[in-house]
Structure 1
Amino acid sequence: MLVCKNTAYQHSEDDHDEDVLKQGFEYKEPRYLLYDVNPGEGFNLRRDVYMRIAVLVQNLNKDGPWILVLPPWSRLYHWRSRDVGSQERIPWSTFFDLTSLTEFVPVIEFHEFLELSKEPIIEEVYYLQNYKEGWDKWEEKMDKRPCLVNPYEWDRESQRWRGWFFGYSDEVEALKMECISVLGHAGFLKPFLLANTTARSVMIDRAETVLHDRYGDAVFWQVRRSMRFSKKLREIGDAYRAEFLDSIDEQDKTVLTDSWTDMKTNHGDALGGPYLAVHLRRADFVRVREKDVPSIKHAAKQLKELARKHNLKKIFVATDAPLGEYEELKGHIGKEFDVFRFEPTKEVKQMYKDGGVAIIDQWICAHARLFVGTRESTFSFRIQDEREILGFDPEMTFNRLCNEKDKKCEQPTRWLIQY
């Protein structure tokens, strides 16, 4: 069993003597925590893993200066556009407001980390995995074990480890790599990082293996509130709302403060724009979650009923459905309602990629009078989060489309904001 006792932070003998970084520490010689996620995970699950690791870094900073290195974004399952240029090595600043992130925990981009390093080296990599034998009871534990799967290769010539490293596989190497079987929360990694390594840069791979320390508490919501989208993406979404959906923050009561730390809302403070927004997840969900996903015809029926109930004449659709299915949906909805879908310009797609277009969809959905999502979709979950932050009545947020065969149709769990 690995040593997991709490110890005071100790500088390693070969720590570099760098200037104080801009993240607000009054320290020199910070340590850097990097992380990565299973390549098959989607954009919104990756956002959730960021939250787990950000809380870990916040806790590490109680014992010494650590900086979280943000993993560049690369092509994901839903990022399939061929006319947007490369979807590799995308920095977080493309999608998120880094100043806002830094108000919770100090962060830098991966390319900034490389610029600060004397060599393109990550000193230690720990690849997290589940226990081969499974587990009978829940108990937090971690052990160094043989790798069940090892995505890294040992280069005999350089005497270093080579791997994907966020698309920098030809440039970045690691000095040490070990596999660790772990069962526990993200915070359980803290004593290991303090007691078992003095490396200046440490990477946790497969970080989704560890869980949230406390899901839904005030700290959870602090890091979630800090994850504001980039100002430019918000502006694009706001312009679309104003032009097509008669939606403006002042009249919708959805004005953001300059800093998330100064914003505290009550349920019902936000009114939202005069439109219904729906996240209609299709693609693989039609096959793997057949019992949860309605037919296009039944989805249209539910949307019309909800729009009539709330006296809304406009319906905004965020969906991964092909154009044919979207047109079918519009046909079933009919001319009683105006149906909209965000169509990015070529410039927006090339600059902000598929991930940015998805964020604009989420931002527009977050400002609707009424939101309806898809069951078990992280895309819908994140919209619900945004609406909690803005101060919507939960009745107008935690709704989902139902399969026509689902007689009970349980609505989403209400994870309400905590301050």
Structure 2
Amino acid sequence: MLIFSKIILLLLFFTTSTLQIEEYCEIDDMVCKGASFKQNYRYLFYDVNPPEGFNLRRDVYMRYAIWAHKLMLNSRLEYHKYVKLVLPPWSRLYHWRYSEKPEFKPWSYYFDLESLQKFAPVIEMYQFFDDVKKTGSNKVLIDEVYILQHYEDMFQSGKFIEKMSIEKCNEPVDPNYFYYKNITSNNVKCLSFHGFTDQLTNLFETSSSKTFLFIHGEVVLHSNFGDKLYWKCRRSMRFNKHLINIANEFRNKNLNSTDVSDKTELPEDWKEEKPRRTALGGPYLSVHLRRGDFVRARPKDTPTISHAAKQIKNRLIDLSINKVFVATDAKINEINELKSILESDGFQVLLYEPNKNVLQKFGDGGVAIIEQIICSYSRYFIGTYESTFSFRIQEEREIIGFPVESTFNRFCGGDSFECEPPSKWKIVY
């Protein structure tokens, strides 16, 4: 199919004689550091709809990481156990402000890869391409490509029924995945899908293919949302240590906040974390004030700047603190308005402003993570209703061990100071 001659970024067919990847993967009691899977090694790739944001993509990763984890541990057939999940690199996302062109940053720019590998058998895309070069060719042939799509009538029955079937494509096929031009496939199908990741297992276990690509990976839902396995995966998603250090330096310098004084110390290895609700947090309030498209799309849940300022002020008074850290996508005039209102009442408003070096190395994704870290360690957090950015902060605070009442809070829209609270997804160990 010529339309897929430009299929970008994703899979390769490796002959078993050339497949030698040195890696680190520790799955529970299974250790394979430096192992070389020359025989039954198989690759899973996924893509995400380009308009989807950074924090939703993190959630999609979890769906496939948990699936890969389960395949490796629980597969009925020994031949199918050796799985590697290839992480799609980060290119410029639509809502990022600082980046002007695709950058193809690996996951290790944002997350601790070794920590991820203690839960799921993952490798970076550049590691995958390094092995492609060993075959003497720059071209990749994907064995099975599935373009996931929703059923057009999936909600008409009023019941949630798991199903999947190969059908006519709902939309024209876009071959421009990840901007790569050297990946092709002779086997591309549109898979109408309604259900959870575990449904894909049948495709995997009834096939002898080495490589699988799932386009529009966000269509598939969590099989383990909110349970113990979900939280193991989430806890493994520790941030890049350089980003943590940048955020900690900001906390210490501007917010009088350290892990020792805030009772927020975590063990080096996420597997050693224990249930607790003893975190105090730094002497500051943190807020995520989502503006952008929320102002138009969710006007009833998105406060005006003046009403947001009133809610912040009330909480600062309740907490007897005078500093608030603000993470926001608001325009500069809105930020100035917020600061003017609060500072006129004697409160201090802080935002993280990245320097040139941070922007050049980590881009918008790094800035977002730094802001999330700072918000995660505050005494009290107020988020934006149904924002994935706020969800991720709430998850971090659950991992750190904050009391529930200091985490699951939101801005109210309109003129109200009372509104429906966010869902409380508590950590499970």
TM over 0.5: yes
List per-residue Cα deviations over 1:282-321 (Å, max 9, x = no partner): 0110000100011100100110110110111111000000
**Equivalent residues of 1:89, 1:167 under 8 A apart:** no
- Conserved? CA contact 1:249–1:255, under 8 Å: yes
Equivalent residue runs for 1:340-379 within 5 Å: 340-379=350-389
The whole-number CA distance in structure 1 between the counterparts of 2:14 and 2:370 is 47
Helix, strand or coil for the counterpart of 1:256? Answer: coil
Alignment match of 1:108 (pick from 105, 123, 148): 123
Per-residue deviation at 1:174?
Answer: 2.4
Q: Distance in 2 between matches of 1:105 and 1:213?
A: 15
- Residues 180-238 of structure 1, C-alpha deviation per residue, up to 9 Å, x if partnerless? 1111101110122111x222111111111111112110000000001111000010000
Alpha-carbon distance in structure 2 between the residues aligned to 1:382 and 1:206? 21
Q: In structure 1, what residue type is equivalent to 2:143?
A: E
* Cα distance in 2 for residues equivalent to 1:253 and 1:207: 38
Q: Pick from 277, 302, 315: which aligns with 1:293? A: 302
Find the partner of 1:380 among 390, 393, 399. 390
Structure 1 residue corresponding to 2:89, chosen from 55, 72, 77: 72
> Residue 371 of structure 1 contacts residue 398 of structure 1 at CA under 8 Å; is this kept in 2?
yes
- Structure 1 pair 321–55 and aligned structure 2 pair: CA distance change class (3 A): same
- Distance in 2, matches of 1:410 and 1:307, equals 21
CA contact (8 A) 1:44 1:382 kept: yes
Describe the SS at the equivalent of 1:316.
strand
For 1:46, which of 57, 67, 70 is the aligned residue? 57
The alignment partner of 1:294 has SS state of: coil
- Paired residue for 1:130, among 150, 166, 176? 150
1:230-274 deviations in Å (ceiling 9; x for gaps): 00001000000000000011111111211111112312x111100
Report the equivalent of 1:157: none
Partner-residue secondary structure (3-state), 2:189: strand
Partner Cα separation in structure 2 for residue 274 and residue 212 of structure 1: 36
Amino acid at match of 2:179: G
Q: Distance in 1 between matches of 2:275 and 2:355?
A: 34
Cα displacement string for residues 110-144 of structure 1 (whole angstroms, at most 9, x for unaligned residues): 12112223343133211111113334232211111
Asked whether the 8 Å contact 2:24–2:114 carries over to 1, the reply is no
Deviation at 1:175, TM superposition (A): 3.2
Give the one of 153, 159, 166 matched to 1:144: 166
Residue number in structure 2 paired with 1:208: 218
Q: Percent identity?
A: 46
CA distance in 2, matches of 1:20, 1:108: 9
- Following superposition of structure 1 onto structure 2, how do residues 181-192 of structure 1 map, counting pairs within 5 Å? 181-192=192-203
Match among 205, 210, 216 for residue 194 of structure 1: 205
Quote the offset at 1:28 in angstroms: 3.3
| Cα shift at 1:408 | 4.5
Counterpart contact for 1:74–1:167, Cα < 8 Å: no
SS at match of 1:61: helix
Name the CA distance, whole Å, in 1 between partners of 2:279 and 2:312.
22
Question: Is the Cα contact below 8 Å between 1:87 and 1:353 reproduced in 2?
Answer: no
The runs of 5 or more residues in structure 1 that have no matched partner are 1-11, 153-162
CA distance in 2, matches of 1:74, 1:399: 32
Q: Are residues 97 and 46 of structure 1, via their aligned partners in 2, closer, same or farther at CA, if it must alter by over 3 Å?
A: same
TM superposition shift of 1:14:
5.5
Contact 1:88-1:167 at 8 Å conserved across structures: no
Which of 228, 239, 254 lines up with 2:264 in the alignment? 254
User: How far has the Cα of 1:39 moved from its partner?
Assistant: 1.1
After TM superposition, list the pairs within 5 Å mapping 1:76-87 onto structure 2: 76-81=93-98, 84=99, 86-87=101-102
Q: Give me the whole-angstrom Cα distance separating, in 2, the residues matched to 1:365 and 1:407.
A: 22
Residue in 2 that maps onto 1:238: 248
* Residue 107 to residue 302, structure 1, CA distance change in 2 (3 Å): same
Q: How does 1:387-406 map to 2 (within 5 A)?
A: 387-406=397-416
Matches of 2:97 and 2:325, distance apart in 1: 22
Q: Which residue of 2 aligns with 1:221?
A: 231
Preserved contact between residue 85 and residue 350 of structure 1 (Cα < 8 Å)? no
What corresponds to 2:24 in structure 1? 23
Of 316, 341, 357 in structure 1, the residue corresponding to residue 325 of structure 2 is: 316
Is 250-259 or 23-32 further displaced after alignment?
Answer: 23-32
Equivalenced residue count is 393
Letter of the aligned partner of 1:73 in structure 2? W
Determine if contact 1:68/1:106 at 8 Å carries over to the other structure.
yes
State the distance in 2 between where 1:334 and 1:373 align. 21
SS at match of 2:317: helix
The amino acid that maps onto 1:164 is N
CA distance in 2 between counterparts of 1:407 and 1:304 reads: 12
Q: Distance in 2 between matches of 1:166 and 1:88?
A: 11
Letter in 1 for 2:274: K
User: 1:101 touches 1:226 (CA, 8 Å); kept in 2?
Assistant: yes
**TM-score, normalising length: structure 1:** 0.90
Deviation string, structure 1 residues 337-395 (Cα, Å, up to 9, x no partner): 11100011011111110111011000000000010000010000000000000000011
Does the Cα contact within 8 Å between 1:265 and 1:390 map onto a contact in 2? no
